[in-house]
Amino acid sequence: MILVAGLVCIAGGLALSVLPGPLTIPPVLLGLWLWSTEFAWAQRLFQSAAVKGREAWRHARKHPVSSTTITAGGLLMVVAGVWTLQRLDVVSTVRAAVGA
């Protein structure tokens, strides 16, 4: 169960990696923390990732305007992309082209 829960968190964090900003860090850290309760190799990864996460958080706190602007801009780009895909009905077009 711990393996699956950690995998879900890490996969979610990696899915968020397409967005700029520190959004990917918390779910990945949570997944690594879950795994570190069971696996020694995950504990080593968690410690390394926690240091990098603290550095990213420190940077975001030092530069709140640019961090917020970049993160909000990334979220807006995702929303615009999803809206465009739905508006142009890209999924149905691709399915028809592939024959699915």
pLDDT one-digit tens code per residue, 45-62: 888 888 887 898 899 899
Kindly report the number of other CB atoms within 10 A of residue 6's CB atom: 22
Question: In angstroms, rounded to a whole number, what is the distance separating the alpha carbons of residues 32 and 38?
Answer: 10
Q: What is the pTM of this model?
A: 0.51
User: What mean pLDDT value characterizes the chain?
Assistant: 86
pLDDT confidence of residue 70: 85
| Residue the block writes with tokens 């706190």 | 61
pLDDT > 80? residue 87:
yes
CB 21 within 8 A of CB 9: no
